[in-house]
Amino acid sequence: MKYSGWPEPGELVVGRIDEIEDFGVFVDLLEYEDKRGLVHVSEVASGWIKNVRDHVSPDQRVVAKVLDVDESSQQIDLSLKDVNDHQRKDKIQEWKNERKADNWMEQSFGEDISDEQYAAVANELLAAFGSMYAGFEEAAIRGSEALADTDLDDGEIESIVETARENVSVPYVEVTGYVDLQAFDSDGVDAIKEALQAAEGNGAVPEEVELEVTYVGSPEYRIKVKAPDYKTAESELEDSADRAVDVIESRGGTAQYHRERNTDEE
């Protein structure tokens, strides 16, 4: 997807070196339709420059900062020296991600998707998530729920979710905690089983979360949670432990949640 408008001053843009002159460098902007900017020789690199060609080469991909835009004269002034390595790396990754998302749009709706539908869907993703890639990523993690507040219709949502789950590698984090469960009545075994079922969520764990409860050694059980982010993972871990504790205590037993494994008996 290429934007039809103009970049904003201060924005970082990805471009390709198109033409090199003694006074500066012309750069084709890869994110914008039919837009080209100029990097004056003084903005190519820090310090005195004897030969521009010592710093850039034809067809080189660069990240530049937009200094000024004059639409009336069709002029975009750029700087290469004002972009540090960290910014350059992040911007290139962002650009690559959006190229992936552009391919996923065609996969979702077909290569013959109309410009109008493409723009409508893309604008919904941009408004809701900041980028098309982030929209597909959220769809992979949370399914149709992630797109529920957009104006996309059910068919569009289904297509995006299906494509996202086929293509997006979702980043996950993993956290672990432990519960000690003890029940003293004659039906103590049943109480423990009920507590473990409660810890596992009884089918109520969110779709994007993986939760596993395993036996460590009496009276200790491990709860392992995988989720898209630490906030969700920690919340689900604590909820799982709370459910188990509530069941055991309601059955007259004792329970304790802790983050580190007990090693007293080892």
Domain residue ranges in the chain: 12-83, 86-167, 173-258
pLDDT band at 134 (very low <50, low <70, confident <90, very high): very high
Q: According to the model, what pLDDT value does residue 265 have?
A: 45
Percent of the chain with pLDDT over 70: 98
What is the amino acid identity at position 211?
Answer: L
Q: How many angstroms separate the Cα of 93 from the Cα of each of 14, 96, 146? A: 10, 5, 23
Asked if the model's pLDDT at residue 31 lies above 60, the reply is yes
Tokens for 83, please give them. Answer: 């972009």
CATH value of 12-83 in 3.50.50.60, 2.40.50.140, 3.40.630.10, 2.70.70.10? 2.40.50.140
Lowest mean pLDDT among 56-60, 79-83, 113-117, 169-173: 169-173
SS (H, E, C) 22-61: CCEEEEEECCECCCEEEEEHHHCCCCCCCCHHHCCCCCCE
What fold, for 86-167? DNA polymerase; domain 1 (1.10.150)
Decide which of 143 and 212 is more confident: 212
Q: Are 213 and 206 in contact (CB under 8 A)?
A: no
Cβ contacts of 43-48, under 8 Å, gap ≥ 24: 43/67, 43/77, 43/78, 43/79, 43/80, 43/81, 43/82, 44/80, 44/81, 45/80, 45/81, 46/81
In this predicted structure, what is the pLDDT of residue 191? Answer: 92
Give CA–CA dist 129/77, Å, rounded.
29
Angle, alpha carbons 167-168-169 (nearest 5°): 120
**Rounded to two decimals, what is the model's pTM?**
0.65
Nearest to 223 by CA among 246, 234, 249: 234
Please check whether residue 39 is in contact with residue 70, taking contact to mean a CB–CB distance below 8 angstroms: no
In the prediction, which pLDDT does 187 show? Answer: 83
Note if the bond before 206 is cis, omega within 30 degrees. Answer: no
CATH 3.30.70.1130 fits domain 173-258: yes
> Is residue 73's pLDDT more than 90?
yes
